[in-house]
Amino acid sequence: MTGFFRRNGIVISTYLLLAVFVWVAIMIVLPQAYMLDFSFRFNLPPGKIGGPEDVYTLKNYRYLLFGRPGDEAMFNVLHLTVFLRTIIASIFVTLINFAICYPIAYYIAQVAKGGQARALILILILPFWVNEILRAFAFRILFGTSGVINAFLQTFGIIDQPIDFIRADIALYAGLSYAYILLMVFPLYNAIESLDHNQVEAARDLGSPWWRIHWRVVMPHAKPGIASGCTLVFMLTAGALAAPQILGGPSSFWFTQIIYRWFNTGGNWPQGAAYAIVLLLACLIFVLTVMRLFKVSLGEIAK
Amino acid sequence: MSADVDLDHVTIRFGDFTAVQDAHLGIKGGEFFSFLGPSGCGKTTILRAVSGFLEPTEGDVRIGGQSMRGIGPNKRPTALIFQNLALFPLMSVADNIAFGLEVRGVGKAERRKRADELLDLIALQGQGDKKVSELSGGQKQRVAIARALAVEPEVLLLDEPLSALDLKLRQHMRTELRAIQQRVGITFIYITHDQGEALTMSDRIAVMSQGVIQQVGTGADVYENSQTSFVASFVGENNPFVGRITAVDSNYAVVESTFGPLRGRNLSGLRTGDQAMLFVRPESLSYLNGGTVPENTIQSTVVNSEFEGSFFSVFLQGEGSKSIVMSMTNSGDLPAFEQGAAATVGFQADRAVVLPVGEVADE
């Protein structure tokens, strides 16, 4: 510690420590601690907060699992279904993202020449200067029954009747996949870029077909980047709100939308907090399990 | 199995730049053949054309008599050893060696058996489960060779594989590479800018400069009977003397240099009046003060001398401040070469070559 101060000087050292402390404590730990605390409390009117009725309870968590006491059904089927579907759909979106981004990242990192690679990266980044909500609405216009895609398909006589992409959730998955695509491309690009191209050529020279080169040489090398990209996309997709709100069909509810309703229209913060904590934990457990399966450590992801 | 490799008028261009100009030569099956030249001379480009990573713009590469046009590197009977080796760092040593077999669908047990056999060949018995990063430079080198040999190529291509090693190891690996080549008996095509490597290992050498093959021959041939000024100056040390030819008789020509007439072998049929370069090697010069006088003598002064262990390099300065290098075996009875002392040196006409004026390799 004294070494740290001597190296950087009093002013800079104090600033660095303070900045890290503020970041971790105020931006990360405190809000989450509050949420955790909220999730174990009753939803009381302001007057009763801090009073004798303000005690800890498991009621909010029980509600997600079993619904209201006295309900006919054993479990809170509606919310649990939405929860499971959100997780599974997020996995699906993550896989789609990986399938789309891996070839792009490989091309930019290993195949494209300098100027071409920079141009491609710019093309990828530019659309993200547009606000997330605007992008979601743009997708709505694209996929609407009288939207560009339907118009195109009808003009060329591929379909007679417009397809309801929104009801079929195609718009939702497309929008979600697109929303966080950069967070998949860049970790992949960084990881693949550091691979010595001679290794690709060596594998090819030894007789390897292209898919085996990727399976045995490129992907193992890029594993930390793959893990990092997939984690980011999965977490953010599971926690997305704008895209499901704007592009979701009437039958597809995203778990975040339920949380949003508890906080907003429902006015029940403790209930919302409990749901949010469950989502957070589920995501964490899922990500850590996948990382263990693929033998990636947290340190590698941060590389 | 070893195969002939034929370059049939191969020209390779990148845009306007011609990397290889009309390379035309035949490499015999089982031969250790080297391409020697400075960096940027096109030797690596030729290697990539043989391995299949690029196609000749004109001409054809034939392996075992078969045209390789349109056949990718994964389908050619060649294996390439990269300059930086390009071992797979995430695989074990044995998996590296057996990668080519894995690709060919050989079962796990059989693969391991072959890898162990090859580890024996390269004297790394029992090290198959190590990580690549645990090996030393020379061991990695040998693993790269084993990995290439595992696929039983008919032609092994080596792209300056020794350049990353230190001097001692490099010399050791030369002997080892040559021994491996003789044991497996396949064609080796070796790329290098190091003439020592080319001369010690190769059956034949092609000397290249600026995309053009200057001369093909055995090491001794290229060294003793250089056909162009580039070959004479690039392979080994050489002292050039420029001048006009004043006389030609049978296989000899006399060049009128600043030191007077100098006589050497006329290998390329030059005629009287032609502008020419006479090359004489440092070890062909002898120190004459007081001794017998051969046909060519040069008056000079000593600039300095360098002790090289087994020999001395003596730097002389002659007429018109031209510098001359002479090397003398450290026989124990050499005179002291004092700076500024006059020195008469000479050489036999048979030890010098007269060539057309051309490009000279700069050291």
The CATH code of the domain that includes A159 is 1.10.3720.10
Mean pLDDT on A274-295: 88
The answer to whether residue B363 is domain-embedded is: no
Quick one: B77 and B117 in the same domain? yes
CA distance linking residue B323 with residue B300, whole number of Å:
9
Residue B361 lies in a domain: no
Per the CB < 8 Å rule, is B79 touching A217? no
- Tell me how close the Cα of A217 comes to any Cα of chain B, in angstroms: 7
Domain end residue (candidates: B198, B224, B250): B224
Chain A environment of B73 (Cβ under 8 Å):
201, 204-205
Picking from B197, B224, B251, the residue at the C-terminal end of a domain is B224
- B92 Cβ neighbours under 8 A, 6+ residues apart: B128, B129, B130, B131, B132
Query: How many whole angstroms separate alpha carbon A174 and alpha carbon B114?
Result: 49
Query: Residue B40: which CATH number?
Result: 3.40.50.300
Point out the residue among A196, A206, A212 whose CB comes nearest to the CB of B151. Answer: A206
Cβ atoms of B229 and B240 within 8 Å: the answer is yes
Q: Examine residue B162 and state whether it is found in any structural domain, yes or no.
A: yes
Q: How is the beta sheet containing B323-329 ordered, strand by strand?
A: B286-287, B342-347, B296-307, B311-317, B323-329
Domain of B269, in residue numbers: 237-356
> Chain-wide mean pLDDT for chain B?
89
B41, B183: one domain = yes
Tally of structural domains, chain B: 2
- Rounded Cα distance, B132 and A289, in Å: 29
Q: What is the pLDDT of residue A94?
A: 94
Q: Among positive and negative, which fits the CA dihedral B345, B346, B351, B353?
A: positive
Taking residue A243's Cβ as centre, other Cβ atoms within 10 Å add up to 27
In a domain, A187, yes or no: yes
> Which residues on chain A are in Cβ contact (under 8 Å) with B80?
201-202, 205
Domain total of chain A: 1
**B229 in a domain, yes or no?**
no
DSSP-assigned beta bridge partners for residue B355: B277
Q: Is residue A23 part of a domain?
A: no
| B290 CB burial (10 A radius; 0-12, 13-18, 19+) | exposed
Q: Above 60 in pLDDT, residue B94?
A: yes
- How much is the pLDDT for B45? 94
CB B258 within 8 A of CB B313: no
Distance to chain B for A255, nearest Cα, Å: 40
Asked whether the beta carbons of residue A220 and residue B90 sit closer than 8 angstroms, the reply is: yes
Q: Is the confidence at residue B363, as pLDDT, over 60? A: no
A186-233 tens-digit pLDDT: 999 999 999 999 999 999 999 999 999 999 999 999 998 999 899 999
**pLDDT value of position B104:** 92
Say whether pLDDT at B115 is over 90.
Answer: yes
In this structure, is residue A35 part of a structural domain?
no
Predicted complex ipTM exceeds 0.95: no
Strands B311-317 vs B296-307: parallel, antiparallel or unpaired? antiparallel
CB B29 within 8 A of CB B219: no
pLDDT above 90: percentage of residues in chain B: 54
Interface test with A, best of B71, B96, B99, B145 (most A CBs within 10 A): B99
pLDDT tens digits, A79-115: 888 899 899 999 999 999 999 999 999 999 999 888 8
The encoded tokens of residue B48 equal 């990539």
* pLDDT top residue among A157 and A120: A120
pLDDT tens per residue across span B220-277:
999 999 999 999 999 988 999 999 999 888 889 999 888 888 899 998 888 888 899 9
Which chain B residues contact residue A207 at CB under 8 A?
74-75, 100, 103-104, 151
What pLDDT, on the 0 to 100 scale, is given for residue B154? 93
The answer as to whether B269 is a domain residue is yes
Q: Please report whether residue B232 resides in a domain.
A: no
Measure B113 CA to nearest chain A CA, in Å: 18
Check pLDDT > 80 for residue A28.
yes
Residue B157 is predicted with a pLDDT of: 95
In terms of Cα–Cα distance, which of B77, B116, B70, B59 is closest to B93? B116
Report the relative pairing of strands B342-347 and B296-307 from DSSP bridges: antiparallel
For every residue of B26-57, DSSP letters joined together read EE-TT-EEEEE--TTSSHHHHHHHHHTSS--S
Q: Are residues B175 and B244 in the same domain?
A: no
Same domain, B283 and B219: no
**Does position A171 have pLDDT exceeding 70, yes or no?**
yes
Question: What DSSP element (H or E) covers B353?
Answer: strand B352-356
pTM above 0.80, yes or no: yes
Q: How many C-beta neighbours within 10 Å does residue A35 have? A: 17
Nearest CA in chain A to B147: A206
CATH of the domain at B304: 2.40.50.100
Q: Which two tokens stand for residue A214?
A: 């990727």
**Around Cβ A24, how many Cβ atoms within 10 Å?**
11
- Does any domain span residue A14? no
Task: Judge if B283 and B147 occupy the same domain.
Answer: no
pLDDT score recorded for residue B293: 66
Q: Determine phi and psi for A273, rounding to 5 degrees.
A: -60, -45
Q: How far, in Å, are A211, A254, B221, B270 from residue A98 at the CA level? A: 16, 21, 59, 69
At residue B10, the 3 state secondary structure works out as: strand
Closest alpha carbon within chain A to B95: A216
Q: What is the pLDDT of residue B321?
A: 66
Say if residue B176 is in the same domain as residue B255: no
Same domain, yes or no: B111 and B10: yes
d(CA A282, CA A297): 19
Domain that holds residue A189: 77-301
- For residue B200, the distance in angstroms to the closest alpha carbon of chain A comes to 27
Distance CA B53, CA B47 (A): 9
Domain-terminating residue out of B189, B224, B259 = B224
- pLDDT bin (cut points 50, 70, 90) of residue B207 is very high
CB atoms within 10 A of CB A185: 22
Contact B74 A202 (CB under 8 A): no
Burial classification of residue B140, based on how many CB atoms lie within 10 Å of its CB (0-12 exposed, 13-18 middle, 19 or more buried)? buried
pLDDT tens per residue across span B172-198:
888 888 888 888 899 999 999 998 889
Q: Which residue of A has its CA nearest to B152?
A: A206
